[in-house]
Amino acid sequence: MAKSKPKSKTSDTRTAATITPAASPARSDGAPAIDIGIGAGDRKKIAEGLSRFLADSFTLYLKTHNFHWNVTGPMFNALHVMFEGQYTEEWTALDEIAERTRALGFNAPGSYAEFTRLTSLVEEPGLAEAPDWREMVRQLVVGNEGVARTARKVLKIADDAGDDPTVDLLTQRLQTHEKNAWMLRSLLQ
């Protein structure tokens, strides 16, 4: 029989807005147009999906870092170290995701306002109040699974367009986020 989940004060997911990434500006020196074997329309759809994935990934990174700073209780040391390992890995991945968007010829979102509009994850304040360690772990399970769901949606778009580098990137991210969710969930079982 499944255990019931503890109630959270806020919903764990939200509907992300759509922001269309701008194509990189044309160079005045006559640089050739992007011709990587993926049409402009497909590249734009992939870039839009990667923008949402980047926003979800950044929001999860920020939440994980917040919890690293603010965790307390009997699990402090173990979680402090675990969260640090996860947010460090997540930070590195942000650059790979943004650079893939750029390689497709589109700008990557890069502001808190853009990430807030694009993400499907709910932020967690840290200054005024922090949840207990169990709620932190639960939220990070939900966050990793949310990032994985977004990755799967974008992976389908990229796969349909024949964009193997994006498919590879997203497959690697899926492995990481699914493993993180499993490891975190295990702490609550």
Three-state DSSP class for 9? coil
Q: Is the pLDDT assigned to residue 6 strictly greater than 50?
A: no
pLDDT tens for each residue of 156-169: 999 999 999 999 99
List CB contacts of 170: < 8 A, sequence separation 6 or more. 53, 151, 152, 154, 155, 158
Nearest to 131 by CA among 60, 57, 69: 69
Task: Give a yes or no: residue 168 inside a domain.
Answer: yes
**Residue 87 to residue 82: CA distance in whole angstroms:** 9
Could you tell me which residues are beta bridge partners of residue 13?
121
pLDDT tens for each residue of 36-48: 999 999 999 999 9
Task: Give a yes or no: residue 22 inside a domain.
Answer: no
Residue 115: domain span? 59-119+132-188
| Contact by Cβ (8 Å): 163, 38 | yes
Task: Give a yes or no: residue 49 inside a domain.
Answer: no
Query: Would you say how long the chain is, in residues?
Result: 189
Task: Give a yes or no: residue 10 inside a domain.
Answer: no
Q: Is the pLDDT assigned to residue 178 strictly greater than 90?
A: yes
Residue 18's pLDDT band, with cuts at 50, 70 and 90, is: low
Report the CATH number that the domain containing residue 146 is assigned in CATH. 1.20.1260.10
Of the chain, the end-to-end C-alpha distance in Å amounts to 12
Task: Give a yes or no: residue 146 inside a domain.
Answer: yes
Helices then strands (H, E): number in the chain? 5, 0
Give how far Cα 32 sits from Cα of 21, 26, 36, 63, Å.
20, 9, 11, 41
Residue with token string 């890995």: 89
pLDDT reported for residue 31: 82
Task: Give a yes or no: residue 103 inside a domain.
Answer: yes
**Residue 24 to residue 17: CA distance in whole angstroms:** 21
Task: Give a yes or no: residue 162 inside a domain.
Answer: yes
| Contact by Cβ (8 Å): 83, 139 | no
Task: Give a yes or no: residue 75 inside a domain.
Answer: yes
Number of domains, the chain: 1
Check residue 30 and report its DSSP letter.
-
Check residue 127 and report its DSSP letter.
S
